[in-house]
Structures are given as C-alpha cells and as structure tokens.
Amino acid sequence: MLPDFVEVKKRVHELLMHYMQGRVQHHLGFMSQVPRVVIPEGQHNRLVRSDGSVDDTKLKKVQGSEEINTDPKNGLHFKAVLQKLDAIAKQIADEQQRQMFARINEVTEKTGNVTKAPLKEFGLKHLNDMLEKIEIEFDEKGEPRLPSMICGPKMAESIMARREQIESDTVEKARKAEILARKKEAFRAREGRRRLVE
C-alpha cells in the first residue's frame, strides 16, 4: 500500500489556497481595496442606518471551474496547475466585481444617489454633482480624502480626450472649492460629536 502523506497534502492545500487568494486579489485590481467583513453565520448581512431604514444584503455564491487533465506519460506539471488555478481566480474576481457593481447600482438607484450625464458631456459639473451627494472625510492636514472614480474604457477615453477643456471650467472649479469647504465643516462637526460621545 502506498503512503498517503496526509501532512504534505494538507500543507500543499494551504499553499495553493493562499496562492488562489492572492491571485483573486490581483485580478480584482482596484476593487481589492474594498474592505471585507467575515460573516460567521447566517444568510444575509443587515445594515441599519441612522434614520432607521434597514438594508438586507443576501449572500451570493461566487465560484470558478477549470478542468485539469493529467498526461499518463508525463504526469501533472505544477506550472499547469498554477495556470489553471489562476484562471479560476480570474473567474472568481470577475464575478465578485460584477456582483459588487450590480449591488452599488441597486443601492444608489434606490437612494437617488445617481448622477447621469451623456458620455460626451461628462465634466466637472457632473463630478461636483456627485461630490454634493456623498460624505467626505479629511486627513490630519485638512486635505480631503476624495473617492476614486471607476469608469469604463469609452468614458475614460472621452475624459482624457477632453481633459484640458474639462479642467478649464473656472465656474465649476470655484463650485468644487465651495463644496469641499462645506464638506470640511460637516466633517469637523461629525468628528466633534463623535469625540463627545466617546
């Protein structure tokens, strides 16, 4: 009877799982920065807002699959296994991104936090409209921690082609400064209330 090598298999399994997790993060790109929370049990995640409204997010499965064929003569090459695991990691990352964007769209549509603009007209006005709708935090030096913007390839191309024109809008530049000044005061007030409660 051949030995089973239980401990070796366990260690290899741990290493491959670690590799997979790293590759999923790699394929997520920017989205890998989204904070994660472990939910030890249950079928959903409940968010209760300060206004009393409740938002239930149901858990969804994310998976990937690949076939790994072994050559009867040459056996199974470790490099081939890693390539297949990387392909699965990409499938998982792609599905996670799709689900995250679908959820963001669902929530923002429901709350009215959507700013719509034709592709060729998108500019500082629309960015400022978006800034108006969100809370902004500031660092120790008083600099705003502005959110990142994610857009599709066509929108990115359109923005870059009109970058000088967009950035030359002095009216909207002044409006942005005014928005950030208001947001800074609101942030200070929130922080002050938080410290009083602590």
Res 149: pLDDT = 81
pLDDT digits (tens, 9 = 90+) for 72-121: 777 778 888 899 999 999 999 999 999 998 988 888 888 787 888 888 88
Indicate the pTM of the whole model. Answer: 0.72
Question: Which amino acid makes up residue 176?
Answer: K
Distance (Å, whole) CA 194 – CA 197: 5
**Beta bridge mates, 75:** 71
Helix axes 78-111, 6-28, angle to 10 degrees: 50
Q: What gap in Å lies between CA 113 and CA 84, rounded to an integer? A: 40
For 134-184, the pLDDT digits (tens) are 889 999 999 999 988 888 888 888 888 988 988 899 999 999 999 999 999
Q: Which residue has the higher pLDDT, 26 or 76?
A: 26
